[in-house]
Amino acid sequence: MSLGRHFWPFLGVGKLSVLRTAALAARENAYVPYSHFAVGAAVRVGDRIFSGANVENASYGLSNCAERSAIFAAVSAGYSKLDELLVIADTKGPVAPCGACRQVISEFFGPNAVITLANVAGQSVQTTPQALLPGAFSKEILTLE
């Protein structure tokens, strides 16, 4: 069952479970004809969830990552202070955001926001927006593949 690309009210289950479900559903819509590396993301704002997938272009600089797709969907709906983010991919360990995504995350998530980096196998690590910024990497983030 696809949850769609818009926001949903929470369905009475744990917030992280809802974020993971939304991110996995979004990942199914990834457009990745070049890298074949599908990523999904979900953003929570209060009781709303926004999802996004990565969308590639032959000119890689014009591609958009899943995290930015989900964040931009929330911002486009009128939200600029976001609460939680989950990013998921089929990687050996939890997937780490690229530099552009780290900058966008720092713009829209406050110091109390929770950022969960995960893989489809069920591994995850939680961090903060500040820990993702250059010069402030935590040991856990540096070891992600």
- Residue type present at position 72: F
Strands 109-119 and 82-89: parallel
Compute the distance between CA of residue 50 and CA of residue 60 in angstroms, rounded to an integer.
24
Residue 109 has a CB neighbour count (10 Å cut-off) of: 22
67 part of the active site: yes
Of 28, 56, 67, 145, which is the active-site residue? 67
Strands 39-45 and 48-53: antiparallel
Pair 124, 94: CB distance under 8 Å: yes
**Residues forming the active site:** 67
